[in-house]
Amino acid sequence: MPKIIEISTSGRGFFNITRAIEREVAGDGLCHLFLQHTSASLVLTENASPEVPKDLETLIGRIAPDGDPAYRHDDEGPDDMAAHFRTLLAGHDLSIPLADGRLLLGTWQGIFLWEHRHNPHRRRIVITVLPEAT
């Protein structure tokens, strides 16, 4: 059975979960992370500068704005539809090569849970480790 972990977010923003994921995996192959939500993302991005997440927010906010007058779907508020489009663009899962229990990330790659809603949420991630062909 795959493993499921929960991550709490404090509202819109980037949460570096690289360590949390590393603790859960072992062996060799491919680590797959699947977010069971349509209003948050799992992404790899630059792990060093705190300014990169801020600029990513600015850029995605232009193409997926909160409270756009064209939205028909706003049951959960002005960030509801924006969050769905952000998730569609930025994705909801990651596949990362794994060797001897270590994720083969590049030097500057960090794993982030990107919360797209303004309110805090608990987000569920399904972790599956797949073996390599021998």
Select the residue interacting with a copy of itself from 15, 34, 77, 118 (CB under 8 A): 34
Q: What is the 3-state secondary structure (H, E, C) of 10-41?
A: CCCEEEECHHHHHCCCCCCEEEEEEECCCCEE
Rounded to a whole number of angstroms, the minimum distance from the CB of residue 12 to a copy of itself is 16
CB of 42 closer than 8 Å to CB of 113: yes
Select the residue interacting with a copy of itself from 20, 66, 77, 96 (CB under 8 A): 96
Select the residue interacting with a copy of itself from 10, 16, 38, 119 (CB under 8 A): 38
Assign residue 13 a region (left: φ > 0; alpha: ψ between -120 and 50; beta: otherwise). left
Can residue 55 be called a binding residue for a copy of itself (CB under 8 A)?
Answer: yes
Can residue 91 be called a binding residue for a copy of itself (CB under 8 A)?
Answer: yes
Select the residue interacting with a copy of itself from 10, 16, 54, 78 (CB under 8 A): 54
